[in-house]
Each structure stands twice: as structure tokens, then as C-alpha cells.
Homo-oligomer: A and B are copies of this chain.
Amino acid sequence: MKARILRTIPSLRKALDSHRVDGKSIGLVPTMGCFHEGHLSLMRRARKKHDIVVVSLFVNPTQFGPSEDFEAYPRNEKRDIAMAKEVGVDYIFAPSVGAMYPQENVSVVSMHGMTDVLCGASRVGHFDGVMMIVCKLFNLVQPDESFFGQKDYQQCKVIQRMVTDLNMPVRVAMCPIVREPDGLAMSSRNTYLSDAERVRATILYRSLMDAKTMIKQGKCSVALITKKIEKVLSVGVSRIEYIEIRNADTLVAVRNIKNNPVVIAVAAKIGKTRLIDNIIVR
């Protein structure tokens, strides 16, 4: 099937209803565009598992804070569409802001606890925006399964919990981080980096690998691991936003990492660009 580009909600509903009637399974990859190998890996996974693959391409204004980079967020729709077609998706849903938010959205979807930590601590309202747009996309596409990248670990966990709490009829797959050969986690925001910053940016991943090595050596103190990461990062970043070790499922802070799987997550600025990365340690 040749990929179709859909711009409106009625055209999306109409296209997908026909497949649902035929009993086809639907996979959804929600994105903000500016595709890289990370996005493509999600699409390929969806392609492998489902009859119909929908990729949404929408830079959602409600998940950006007033001082954040909504306007500057990299957009390259023409290239994105070509890349998605190359992977063989069936539909590219690329609505305007007006199509997704035709009137003031007075409803709110939010979460206690899990959204207040990590990225949520500094990005106030970010996860409300994420939950809203994902809720809308799930209700519009009604996918059997949706695909998100582990790079946005907290986002994955928040969405999984929302789906559980609201009994949404969709599976949420968290897919591995795709990295550049030197370890930098792929991100649309990497395009902001200057050449010199790009070289320094690998330090996020290296700090996490050093933490992993410590743990393998049996050094399981959260305080010591955090200190190590801080030391490594401080060489190359302009500001550390957080270094956190938390229960991989509940995102509750842990004291030691022996009992449960944990996520080690970092956020830091390289120049003016905010980057995040994480690893799961079992």
C-alpha cells in the first residue's frame, strides 16, 4: 500500500474505520517529526508487527513551556514524509494545530507524583501536554499498539501508567534507544549542537557507561554513583539539570540499586541545548 498523507481528523477516522471493519491490527508511532534513526526504528518495529502502520507527525504546542523551544523546534516535513514512506508506513497523519485544537481545550489530563520528578520538575506542565496529545491520538487512531522510544523514559512510564489507570485499550511498547556510533542518543534536538558541542555531547552516554561499570564492580551506592556521573559530566556540560537513580517502574527515588531494576537518568545542557539520556540497570 502506498503511504497516504492525512491532514484532518475526519479523513483519518474514515481511512482507519475501513481497516478496523476488516479486522486489521493497527500500530501507531506518535512523533513530533524531524526523523532520525530512533523514529525509524519505531516505525520498522510497528511495520513488522501490524497490518496497518500510522505515523503521526505533529509538533504539539501544549507540551512546550512558554520559555521553551516550540517555535524553534526543528521541522522538516518533506524529508520526514520521504523517510516514513521509505520504511513503508501506511498513513502519515500530519494535522495542523487548528485541526488538533479547533477550540480551547478545557479538559485536562494529568498525573500525581510521577510527573513531578526528573524532566517534570523543570518542565512544568510538559507532561500534561504530552498526556493530552497522546490521549487524543489514541482516541483518534485507536491503535492496538503504540511505539515510544526509551530515550524519553519518563514519558514512556507516564503513558503506560495513564493507559493502565484509564483502562485504555492499547499496548504501549517502549523501544530501545538508538545511538550514534560514538554513543550519543539520537534526538531531534541534536541538530541544535555546534560541531564542538556535538563532540562534547557524548559525555552523557559516557557518564552512564561509567556508572554501569561501577555497578558491575559491585559499587551500588546511589550517592557514590551519582557523584561519579557528576564528576564525568562536569568536564563537558555547561549545566547539569539532574542526575537521578530511580525505580525503573514507579520512578520513586531509591537508596541502593540491589533490589529492583533502576533507571539512571541524566539531563544536562551542552551550550544552550538541553539533552537527556538514560540506561536501565537490572
Contact = CB atoms under 8 A, between A and B. Distances in A.
A232 interface: no
A103 B131 CA distance: 20
A139 B110 contact: no
A270 to B, nearest CB: 33
A205 to B, nearest CB: 31
Identical chains in the assembly: 2
Interface string A138-170: 011010000000000000000001101111110
Interface string A91-124: 0000000000001011111111110000000000
A109 B112 contact: no
Interface in A191-208: none
Contacts of A166: 107, 109, 132, 135-136, 139
A9 interface: yes
Contacts of A181: none
24 contacts: A21-B23, A103-B164, A105-B165, A106-B113, A106-B165, A107-B109, A107-B110, A107-B111, A107-B131, A107-B162, A107-B166, A108-B110, A108-B112, A109-B109, A109-B166, A110-B110, A132-B166, A135-B166, A139-B166, A139-B167, A139-B169, A140-B167, A140-B169, A142-B169
A169 B162 CA distance: 18
A54 to B, nearest CB: 14
A105 B166 CA distance: 9
Given A23-B21, A167-B136, A161 B112 contact: no
Interface residues of A, number: 30
A264 B167 CA distance: 35
A179 B182 CA distance: 73
Given A13-B169, A107-B109, A107-B110, 12 more contacts: A106-B111, A106-B114, A106-B161, A107-B111, A107-B131, A107-B161, A108-B112, A110-B110, A136-B166, A139-B166, A139-B168, A140-B169
A165 to B, nearest CB: 4
Interface string A21-42: 1010000000000000000000
